[in-house]
Amino acid sequence: MKKKKKPVKKAKKIIKRRAKTVKRELTVEERIALANKPGQDAMKLHPFFKGKIQIAPKCVIRDVKDFAIWYTPGVAKPCLDIKANPEKVWEHTNRANTVAVFTNGTRVLGLGDIGPEASLPVMEGKSLLFKYLGGVDAFPIAIRTKDPEEFIKCAKLLEPSFGGYNLEDIEQPICFYILDRLRKEMNIPVWHDDQQGTAAVTVAGLINALKIVGKDPKKVRVGMIGAGAAGIAVLRVMAAYGIDPAKVVMTDMYGIVHKDRPEFEKHFAYTKDLIVKTNVESRKSERIEDAIPKTMEGMDVVIAYSKPGPDTIKKEWIKRMAKDAILFVCANPIPEIWPWDAKEAGARIVATGRSDFPNQVNNSLGFPAIFRGTLDVNARTITDEMCIAAAVELAKVAEDRGLREDYLIPTMDDLEVFPREAVAVGMKAIEQGVARIVMTKEQLYKKASDRIKNARAMSKSLMKQGFIPNPPKD
């Protein structure tokens, strides 16, 4: 008979195993070094791979004889079929799964007006996320113009090639004008990711943050640092969800936003109908440097899409917020304050736009799935209600996993979140009557899930076979 292991010996093994998993607290210098590492790696790997995307076939090529089908003479038949019935373009080509990532490089990340060439690494990255997370074929289109009319004309001329437009990194206020015009004048879905995409994911995080702290969305007071495209879109979608805009105070580079400001009409020409509903208590700042602390004072929530930090927001300002404060500091590449400093200052929940910190509130959780659902039903547009449907489902996925202060919304490696979000968007499009194709929930889930799984499997296969080489070792 074998002797049983002694309880003490067994306990020692468990303690030893657990000890290996215990990590010491990082110093501030180590945290900053880790935060800077992605940028250092990017400078090594971008030139190594010479970009991030390529075109690959999706049809069989058994031998060169197949080109008689895919090109001349066989291709003439589908061409003539489309000429007779233009709607057949969605069946014979990849247009139904193709999105243009359209920019002029005037408002790139937290970098500002860096031009169309310098914007391309971001647009390629966007296209990569579209494919890997949503199974969508996206292509960067960077054009050299700051004239909104030229931008609109170019976008309209290219419409026959794409199933949708993702506008990206365009300065405000013309981004509002361009989006409104193109949505009205084009027959494919057009959206501005810095507006609608940012808003959908931010609202998803806010829904769950409020659940954790037990506050009513209709009663919370919200400070918004930054009144650019992202901030105003977040306000619009928050208001549509149920946040009272009267309880919102915004600030921009000129101070606290209020309707009596001399330049109010000029700065908010396209959005004044919404902005005028905010700040009913008429908070004002005599000096520009007082705007952010005065906006934050007593707020339940502060959402910042403003100047990259880490000193844009200071610890002492967080201390003046309400109990159980929620802080979203979403500037890229560096948040307005480091999350550990915000926690030390008393914020209960902190979110950023970065994937290397907990609670990433980033468009990457929104646009791949929202477009996946939009394209799968061949929707004519992307409505705010479709964005809210995505936000609610995104929040629900995290809730199903178990909410925590450091887990508000799912991460990009959650395989289920993207098809679930796509289904919510597709079903809302069908409900609103903007979909050309009607499908069941089950059909939509299978279609989205298959597309996304295939895209990920293809990337892994290319790496395994060596067609995507391993990066050099440090």
Active site (catalytic) residues: 71, 126
Distance CA 168, CA 368 (A): 14
What distance in Å separates the CA atoms of residue 145 and residue 349, rounded to the nearest whole number?
41
**Dist. CA 67–CA 412, nearest whole Å:** 38
Query: How many Å is the maximal CA-CA distance in the chain?
Result: 91
Tokens of 464: 């395994």
| Cβ-contact 341, 310 below 8 angstroms | yes
The helices-and-strands tally (H runs, E runs) of the chain is 19, 10
CB neighbours of 295 closer than 8 A, spacing ≥ 6? 223, 224, 225, 249, 250, 251, 256, 283, 285, 302
SS3 for 327? strand
Dig out the tokens for 340 from the structure.
């550990």
Contact 263, 256 (CB under 8 A): no
13, two tokens: 């093994």
**Contact assessment for residue 306 and residue 331, using Cβ atoms and an 8 Å cutoff:** yes
Helix axes 417-432, 441-464, angle to 10 degrees: 140
Nearest to 103 by CA among 167, 175, 161: 167
Q: Strands 255-256 and 248-252: what pairing?
A: antiparallel
What are the tokens at 152?
């609109």
The span from the CA of 433 to the CA of 389, in Å, is: 15
Residue 386 to residues 81, 141, 236, 309: CA-CA distances in angstroms? 33, 25, 13, 32
Cα separation, 61 vs 82, in Å, equals: 23
Distance CA 251, CA 227 (A): 6
CA dist 389 and 409 (Å) reads 15
Could you tell me if 159 and 187 are in contact, meaning their C-beta atoms sit under 8 angstroms apart?
yes
